[in-house]
Amino acid sequence: MAADSKLHIAMFPWLAFGHIIPYLVLSKLIAQKGHKISFISTPRNIHRLPKLPPNLAPLINFVKLPLPQVDGLPEDAESTTDVPYDKVQYLKKAYDGLKDPITVFLETSRPDWLLYDFSPYWLPRIATSLGISNAFFSILLGAALCNAKPYSAIDDRTKPEDFTVPPKWITFPTKVVFRLFEISRIFDSVTANASEVSDSYRMEEVLRGCEMIAVRSSMEFEPEWLHLLEEIQGKPCIPVGMLPTTDYDTGEEIDTWSLIKQWLDNQGKGSVVYVAFGSEAKPSQIEITEIARVRVVWITILLGAEEASRLG
Residues 168 and 296 both lie in one domain: no
Angle, to 10 degrees, between the axis of helix 88-96 and the axis of helix 180-191?
A: 40
Options 19, 35, 82, 199, the catalytic residue: 19
Rounded Cα gap, residues 240 and 217, in angstroms: 6
In the predicted structure, residue 311 carries a pLDDT above the cut 50: no
Residues 225 and 259 both lie in one domain: no
Has 19 been annotated as catalytic?
Answer: yes
Domain limit, last residue, from 207, 239, 271: 239
Residue 193 belongs to a domain: yes
Minimum mean pLDDT among 1-15, 62-76, 98-112: which range? 1-15
Of all residues in the chain, what percent carry a pLDDT higher than 90?
69
Average pLDDT for the chain: 89
Has 8 been annotated as catalytic?
Answer: no
Q: Domain containing 183: what range? A: 3-239
Residues 100 and 133 both lie in one domain: yes
Residue 132 belongs to a domain: yes
Q: What is the CATH number of the domain that holds 92?
A: 3.40.50.2000
| Structural domains in the chain (count) | 2
In this prediction, residues 269-283 reach a mean pLDDT of 74
In the predicted structure, residue 292 carries a pLDDT above the cut 50: yes
DSSP three-state, residue 284: coil
Residues 63 and 155 both lie in one domain: yes
Residues 53 and 167 both lie in one domain: yes
Domain limit, last residue, from 198, 215, 239: 239
Domain limit, last residue, from 214, 239, 264: 239
Minimum mean pLDDT among 25-29, 94-98, 161-165, 294-298: which range? 294-298
User: Is the CB of residue 97 less than 8 Å from the CB of residue 173?
Assistant: no
Long-range contacts from 86-91, C-beta under 8 angstroms, 24+ separation: 88/189, 89/188, 89/189, 89/193, 89/194, 89/195, 90/194, 90/195, 91/15
pLDDT for 282 equals 74
pLDDT digit string, tens, across residues 221-235 = 999 999 999 999 999
Residues 199 and 269 both lie in one domain: no
Residue 250 belongs to a domain: no
Residues 230 and 267 both lie in one domain: no
DSSP three-state, residue 248: coil
Residues 83 and 197 both lie in one domain: yes
Residue 8 belongs to a domain: yes
pLDDT digit string, tens, across residues 67-90 = 999 999 999 999 999 999 889 999
Residues 264 and 232 both lie in one domain: no
- Amino acid at residue number 155: D
User: Is the CB of residue 136 less than 8 Å from the CB of residue 214?
Assistant: yes
Residue 249 belongs to a domain: no
Residue 196 belongs to a domain: yes
Residue 248 belongs to a domain: no
pLDDT digit string, tens, across residues 155-192 = 999 999 999 999 999 999 999 999 998 899 888 877 76
pLDDT for 119 equals 97
Band (pLDDT 50/70/90 cuts) for residue 245 is confident
Rounded Cα gap, residues 309 and 312, in angstroms: 5
Residues 190 and 269 both lie in one domain: no
Q: What pTM, to 2 d.p., does this model score?
A: 0.86
Options 35, 82, 96, 117, the catalytic residue: 117
Residues 183 and 279 both lie in one domain: no
Residues 97 and 137 both lie in one domain: yes
pLDDT for 206 equals 98
Residue 28 belongs to a domain: yes
pLDDT for 308 equals 44
In this prediction, residues 121-145 reach a mean pLDDT of 97
